[in-house]
């Protein structure tokens, strides 16, 4: 088969099946008020199989058992579709499931499928996803190590091992911060963290106001933002309840530090009011639940048009991080990616694990697709049917 110029053209590559592998056993703590247990499933890996034998992989941020149920619902829509058309296929899945509830489990599951389809398209064309998205603005990017907040005298113990590994940017979040109505405790945590990371490292703060029954409001957030500026904090993330858009707008107007958020929003349409109202300095969609790479890039370009910086939320798996790395190469102002400190689902499932260079950066893979390879034996530690992910 050739195209109009006589060059070889790629024939359609039909989707034969899509499978999910829920991850269990070593789920990292989240700092949630109803804490994650190791045996809980909060992430799943996705494999899209094709009639050519080519397999693409993705990641979903939700209970893997819900993902398996969603795949059964979506099966009539994706089975037999052309795996080389990720945006069209993913939009078809969105458009035909609106009546089952936009933005929830189905949208999360579509995210994993979409990531896997981009992986397939890259493998089929020999190009990295970043190049398929339009180019490579950078060959490496700085990861920020995402860690839970602890009591002040524990923060150095939590941070030091990762500083020793070479991380030069950190985000601390959740835990006791803002939870005890104790402003002095909050400041002591930040003071201890700044001391632990050093004066030159980037430090970001995420109290996690999307957690259940968040007790604080706008006035707490304004006062806290001013305190964070004293410690040169790079951004204040999820400072308010996730539906308090007008409070976010007011906070952004007076805060001396940038205001970040958006990880709980799904699909591009949900981000429009936040951008129009000027509620955020930094927008943080999560590629493993927002709708995948196809949605993430549309949100990122839309944010740029509003003068809002895009840095993806990445509290997920090695495949989610791989997608974020590719996206970071495609956008000129995305100079950071999130890296969960100590998660086996990031550090323990790839054939070649991620590693920092001498300056604390991650190389962005320039191999076909996502540019990473799952290790069957490693994945088998965390899911009962790892073999279903492979050809």
Spans of all domains in the chain: 15-128+378-389, 131-374
pLDDT at 4: 64
On whether the CB atoms of residues 322 and 365 are closer than 8 A, the answer is yes
**Topology at the third CATH level for domain 131-374:** TIM Barrel (3.20.20)
Give residue-wise pLDDT tens across range 288-323.
999 999 999 999 999 999 999 999 999 999 999 999
Average pLDDT, the chain: 96
Query: Of the candidates 175, 120, 185, 129, which has an alpha carbon nearest to the alpha carbon of residue 152?
Result: 185
Rg, C-alpha atoms of the chain: 21
Task: Concatenate the DSSP letters of all residues of 299-326 into one string.
Answer: HHHHHHHTT-EE--B--S-HHHHHHHHH
pLDDT for the residue numbered 2: 61
pLDDT of residue 101: 83
pLDDT over 90 at 1, yes or no: no
Residue 29 near residue 36, CB atoms below 8 Å = yes
What's the pLDDT score for residue 28?
87
**Using CA atoms in the order 17, 27, 209, 253, what is the torsion angle rounded to 10 degrees?**
-70
Class of domain 15-128+378-389 (CATH, top level): alpha beta
Give the pLDDT confidence of 314-354 residue by residue, as tens digits.
Answer: 999 999 999 999 999 999 999 999 999 999 999 999 999 99
pLDDT in tens, 37-93: 888 899 999 999 999 999 999 999 999 999 999 999 999 999 999 999 999 999 999
Cα–Cα distances in angstroms (integers) from residue 169 to residues 145, 160, 201, 286, in the given order: 6, 12, 5, 19
90: exposed, middle or buried (Cβ count in 10 Å: 0-12, 13-18, 19+)? buried
* Cα 330 to the center of its chain, rounded Å: 16
Q: How far is CA 311 from the centre of its chain?
A: 9
For residues 309 and 332, give the distance between their C-alpha atoms in angstroms, rounded to a whole number.
10
How far apart are the C-alpha atoms of 104 and 117, rounded to whole Å?
A: 20
Q: What pLDDT shows up at residue 3?
A: 63
3-state DSSP assignment of residue 46: strand
Give me the residues paired with residue 148 across strands: 173
Give pLDDT, residue 378: 98
Over residues 163-180, the pLDDT tens digits come to 999 999 999 999 999 998
Give the chain's length. Answer: 391
Report the C-alpha gap between 213 and 232 in whole angstroms.
29
């Amino acid at each position: 088969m050739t195209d109009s110029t006589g060059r070889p053209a790629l024939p359609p590559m039909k989707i034969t099946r899509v499978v999910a592998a829920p991850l269990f056993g070593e789920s990292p703590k989240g700092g949630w008020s109803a804490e994650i247990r190791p045996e809980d499933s909060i992430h799943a890996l996705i494999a899209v199989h094709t009639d050519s034998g080519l397999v693409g992989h993705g990641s979903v941020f939700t209970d893997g058992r819900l993902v398996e149920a969603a795949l059964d619902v979506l099966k009539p829509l994706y089975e037999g579709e052309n795996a080389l058309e990720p945006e069209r296929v993913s939009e078809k899945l969105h458009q035909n499931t609106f009546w089952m509830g936009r933005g929830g489990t189905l949208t999360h599951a579509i995210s994993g499928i979409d990531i896997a389809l981009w992986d397939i398209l890259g493998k089929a064309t020999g190009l990295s996803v970043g190049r398929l998205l339009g180019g490579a603005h950078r060959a490496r990017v700085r990861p920020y190590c995402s860690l839970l907040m602890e009591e002040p005298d524990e923060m150095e113990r939590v941070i030091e091992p990762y500083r020793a590994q070479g991380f030069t940017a950190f985000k601390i979040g959740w835990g006791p911060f803002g939870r005890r109505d104790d402003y002095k405790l909050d400041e002591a945590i930040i003071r201890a963290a700044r001391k632990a990371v050093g004066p030159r490292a980037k430090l970001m703060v995420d109290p996690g106001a999307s957690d259940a029954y968040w007790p604080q409001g706008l006035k707490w957030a304004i006062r806290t933002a001013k305190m964070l500026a004293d410690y040169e904090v790079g951004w204040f993330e999820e400072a308010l309840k996730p539906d308090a858009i007008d409070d976010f707008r007011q906070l952004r107007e007076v805060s001396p530090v940038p205001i970040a958020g958006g990880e709980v929003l799904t699909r591009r349409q949900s981000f429009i009011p936040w951008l129009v109202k000027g509620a955020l300095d930094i927008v943080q969609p999560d590629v493993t639940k927002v709708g995948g790479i196809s949605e993430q890039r549309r949100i990122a370009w839309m944010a740029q048009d509003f003068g809002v910086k895009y840095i993806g939320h990445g509290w997920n798996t090695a495949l989610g991080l791989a997608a974020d790395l590719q996206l970071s190469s495609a956008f000129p102002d995305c100079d950071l990616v999130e890296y969960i400190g100590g998660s086996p689902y990031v550090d323990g499932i790839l054939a070649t694990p991620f590693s920092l260079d001498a300056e604390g950066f991650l190389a962005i893979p320039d191999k076909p697709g996502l540019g990473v390879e799952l290790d069957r034996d490693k994945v088998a530690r965390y899911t009962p049917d790892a073999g279903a992910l492979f050809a």
